[in-house]
Amino acid sequence: MSWYNCFHESEVLEALKPRSYESEEVKVLEALKPHPNLTSLTIIGFGGFCLPDWMNHSVLKRVVSIRIEGCENCSRLPPFGDLPCLESLVLENGSGEVEYVEEDYVSTRRWFPSLRKLSIWNFRNLKGLLKKGGEEQFSVLEEMDISISLIFI
């Protein structure tokens, strides 16, 4: 499943007064709740402040690959660390408000149990991957690429 901002650039430039498309984009993406057998999800250029609620639920339990790109208004990422089959997570050109890839913390959980590839590009205020560390995190990670995260500690 893929979401691309489909508005023509000239339409977007006219609409930048406040962003009039933001509420429509939220409604459309929220209505596109995927089938539980979905294995790949790409969202590019989404203008909402929050990714859809269905990303916080069990509908993504079989997803192997997630790519979130150009969602510059999103202030928080969904709990990707809970996804048992997630092998590849690519985050590009995100909001300056996102400080951690995973903000929630429960000490008994294994975070990102299947993640093999993590790529993060241009998240200006990213402070870390997990807000609080734990023993069982990224246990099978093979490839990590982080670039232009100015205050990453």
Within-domain flag for 65: yes
Within-domain flag for 49: yes
Strand partners, 69: 44, 92
**What confidence score (pLDDT) does residue 8 get?**
45
Residue 107, Cβ density class (10 Å: 0-12 exposed, 13-18 middle, ≥19 buried): exposed
**What confidence score (pLDDT) does residue 31 get?**
86
Within-domain flag for 136: yes
Within-domain flag for 127: yes
Within-domain flag for 103: yes
Within-domain flag for 152: no
**What confidence score (pLDDT) does residue 128 get?**
78
pLDDT in tens, 52-62: 888 877 789 99
pTM summary value: 0.79
Total domains in the fold of the chain = 1
Distance of CA 46 to the CA centre of its chain: 11
Average pLDDT over residues 22-42: 85
Structure tokens of 145? 């690429």
Distance CA 134, CA 113 (A): 12
Within-domain flag for 50: yes
Within-domain flag for 76: yes
In terms of residue numbers, what domain contains 38?
Answer: 2-147
More confident residue, 57 or 1: 57
pLDDT in tens, 61-114: 999 999 999 988 888 888 888 899 999 999 999 887 888 887 765 555 678 899
